Structure 1
């Protein structure tokens, strides 16, 4: 296991990836190419109904500095500059989007054997400041995630989380939406050789007294093919099959059926990612 508790975003991440990652109802195509000088260009297109969205991302690396420049079909230009370990355990990320003048922000991350801290501040006159911190070990971690709007003087986000990890089990509990939502998740590795795992998530809303329960599983049919399935208490069932037909190149087919809307038929999604 990795040292340290990691960042707050990693609390419950294994269960979220099992239950939600790679499921989609759209058609997505991604191509990545590498130039002899080390420039990585990734072009992607997504068809959502009758709408087609595309973007091109160019990544340049120079020692410990990585620059990502993304342009989409709406003429938005997003730039992210990451400086990895200017000091031991430290990472700085500067990002901005054109033409959005309020999008500029600076993030500083620090990882320690017993703590993980991330602070983000908007580069405006009255910025939004986000702080998340986790203390503990690679077994037990306790953290918080808060955002403060200096313009209104209000806390726009106030979350807290607890995580427990051992060799084959990860359990987490988070309190979100300023205390209105309680999220409990569970991830268990059944067979590491076949990458068989099960996961579950329960979300309880105190204001509406509504519970959302999702359970899922994954299994590798062979070293190159993985299947996943999930179902929730609202009657929605989803499944996908993902095949790595060449190294790092993935073909994914996913589908979803809503038991409450059988007459509308199933939703299907396709994703193709090509890497040399």
Structure 2
């Protein structure tokens, strides 16, 4: 008798362990601040701001989220400094078990831009499917599915433009997830871009990973490669480092100061231009502070 299969990750989360290791906790673009609070009536507020170190431009947004766990209902409203209004309504496990419906809309009152997405997500042991209808772009219908069996993952994605009557984008992927490691292979952008990634939990305190990307259209640079590692000093602090094949070295340090308060610091160095004195510095430094109340 075979064991029940877990719900596999969705299409975008194939290779997530490696992507998180390579991309998260490196705040090198400037200063970031995020504050979260929650009321007794299940309303969560989040205010986030980011000042770009190069341009000094500040971008921010404010978000309010209401959650009703009994009804499987989540309503989110966001307003940012670009004057974009965004609303999202989610309903899960009400029509059918494992089915989640999601309507997301955005509006630019000044420029008149608008967008509406209808999403349907279906999750069961061994399968994770999603379908998205972009009403004002095309309209375009996008669907993806990931099938999992004994750790092996097989996934595919395709977009269909209703007006043009043709498939405009397709992709495929396969991978394998185990307790201590994960690998993923992607064929993206209609078979023009290929990527391979791996993640390995070396020990309870050390993680390692890498990702290689080959773009058939970009024959000059060949394969791009990133390698990263993460080490925990203790349960409240860790350090990360990554480097790519063009010599960009990123360093990150994250410290939990107290429950709900976290600080991260990042440094980006161009190792091929350490002694460069011509013009602006190629290096970047940044910090991120998160308060979750």
For residues 123 and 208 of structure 1, do their structure 2 counterparts lie closer, same or farther at Cα, with a shift above 3 Å needed?
A: closer
Asked if the contact 1:53–1:73 (Cα under 8 Å) also holds between the matched residues in 2, the reply is yes
Matched, 1:17 2:25: no
The 5 Å alignment of 1:95-134 reads 95-99=104-108, 102-124=114-136, 126-134=138-146
Per-residue deviation, residues 162-201 of structure 1 (Å, max 9, x unmatched): 0101111100000011111110000000112x2x110010
Matched, 1:8 2:18: no
For residues 125 and 235 of structure 1, do their structure 2 counterparts lie closer, same or farther at Cα, with a shift above 3 Å needed?
A: closer
For residues 157 and 126 of structure 1, do their structure 2 counterparts lie closer, same or farther at Cα, with a shift above 3 Å needed?
A: closer
Residue in structure 2 matched with residue 144 of structure 1 by the alignment = 156
Structure 2 length-normalised TM: 0.89
Asked if the contact 1:148–1:156 (Cα under 8 Å) also holds between the matched residues in 2, the reply is yes
Provide structure 2 residue ranges, at least 5 long, that are not aligned to the other structure: none
Q: Give the alignment partner of residue 46 of structure 1, picking from 47, 50, 53.
A: 50
Provide structure 1 residue ranges, at least 5 long, that are not aligned to the other structure: none
4+ aligned runs moved over 4 Å, structure 1: none
Distance 1:125 1:144 in 2: 22
Q: Give the alignment partner of residue 88 of structure 1, picking from 91, 97, 120.
A: 97
- The 10-residue stretch of structure 1 (209-218 or 81-90) with the greater mean CA deviation from structure 2: 81-90
Distance 1:110 1:85 in 2: 10
Asked if the contact 1:6–1:111 (Cα under 8 Å) also holds between the matched residues in 2, the reply is no
Matched, 1:160 2:172: yes
Paired positions, count = 274
1:136 CA displacement? 2.3
Matched, 1:247 2:256: no
Secondary structure at 1:270 match in 2: strand
Distance 2:180 2:236 in 1: 22
1:78 CA displacement? 0.4
For residues 27 and 155 of structure 1, do their structure 2 counterparts lie closer, same or farther at Cα, with a shift above 3 Å needed?
A: farther
Structure 1 length-normalised TM: 0.94
Asked if the contact 1:4–1:138 (Cα under 8 Å) also holds between the matched residues in 2, the reply is no
Secondary structure at 1:260 match in 2: helix
Matched, 1:271 2:288: yes
Secondary structure at 1:178 match in 2: coil
